[in-house]
Amino acid sequence: MRNLATKLRELVRSEEGAAGVEYGIMVAAIAAGIVVAAFAIGDKVSTAFTDVNTELQKH
C-alpha cells in the first residue's frame, strides 16, 4: 500500500500526471457534449419517427 501511495504522489508531481488529468478533463467535456446533443435532438427524432409511423398507418 505504501508503494502505491508513493507512485501516486510521484504521478501527481510529474508533468505526465498533469497531462493525464488534462486529457481526462477533455474526454469528460466531449462526453458531456455528446450527451447534451443527444438530449437536444432526441425529441426531434422521436417526433419524426412518430410522424412516419402515423403516415404509414393511414395507407
Distance CA 30, CA 22 (A): 12
19 vs 31: CA distance, rounded Å: 18
pLDDT at 23: 86
Torsion of CA 43, 44, 47, 52, to 10 degrees: -150
pLDDT at residue 43 in the model: 86
Q: How confident is the model at residue 1 (pLDDT cuts 50, 70, 90)?
A: low
pLDDT tens-digit map of 16-58: 666 778 888 999 999 999 999 999 898 889 999 999 999 999 8
pTM for the full model?
0.52
Q: Which residue blocks in 1-59 are alpha helix, DSSP H? A: 2-13, 15-58
**What pLDDT, on the 0 to 100 scale, is given for residue 16?**
62
Question: How many other C-beta atoms lie within 10 A of the C-beta of residue 57?
Answer: 7
